[in-house]
Amino acid sequence: MILTVLSSLVVIFSQYFYLGKQWNLMEYLNNWFQISYAVALALGFVNLTVIHWKNIQRKREGWVFSIILLLTMYGYLIVGLAEWSFEGPIFGWIYENIMAALSAAIFSMVAFFITSAAYRAFRVRTKEATILLVCAVLVMLGRAPIGDAIWKSWLGGWSGFVNQWMMGTLNMAAMRAITLGAYVGGFATALRIMLGLERAHIGGTGTQ
């Protein structure tokens, strides 16, 4: 708790007082953060190893995949250490052709999930849900060239107006309000931790 409060005071000093800026305290804090992150990453590495090793030892369901995971994890680590560069031939090839491709593949699933989520969620259950449905359809079609073609035949020169007004006026007002609230809330959470009212981050389960 004392460490939390002291660290918070150091960060406040580094951001709000000119001596803190003069001394460039944030750079040192950032370096310490990077070091602690690296140590925690090693801890996470150990956690993965322990869990999957136990799976293999006890031959739990899917233990073969645990072998593949451990081989991949340690293999890529060894390759990276041996080549000591992101540009290394094997390290770079694995990244470009496996990791990047898999990342893009999983991200592309979002498109399909959006279709099923929209199909399930947009029902005319209540007045608000109906308004949501109409706005969603108008905006969705408005963002695609087909929407321009459809609206142009009905609305002529006003075809872009509906979409722009909904996104630029209606939506932006709500976004600003939610963003403002979220930032103030985040601010208050940080203050609670700084004042020692909340202790979850140090492993406590309670509040004061």
| Interface map 2-21 toward other proteins (x if CB under 8 A) | ----------x--xxxxxxx
CB of 78 to other proteins, least distance (A): 18
CB of 131 to other proteins, least distance (A): 14
84 sits in which H/E element: none
With CB under 8 A as the rule, give the number of residues binding other proteins.
111
Rule CB under 8 A: say whether 75 interacts with other proteins.
no
Q: 167-186: which residues touch other proteins (CB under 8 A)?
A: 167-168, 171-172, 175-176, 178-182, 184-186
DSSP at 207:
B
CB of 138 to other proteins, least distance (A): 10
Contact 6, 204 (CB under 8 A): no
User: Which of 2, 81, 106, 156 is the binder for other proteins (CB under 8 A)?
Assistant: 106
Nearer CB in complex with other proteins: 90/146:
146
Tokens of 48: 């993965």
> Which neighbouring-strand residues pair with 207?
198
Contact 135, 123 (CB under 8 A): no
Q: 39-68: which residues touch other proteins (CB under 8 A)?
A: 40-44, 47-48, 50-51, 54, 61-62
CA distances from 81 to 34, 67, 68, 153 (A): 19, 21, 20, 61
Neighbours of 142 (CB within 10 A): 20
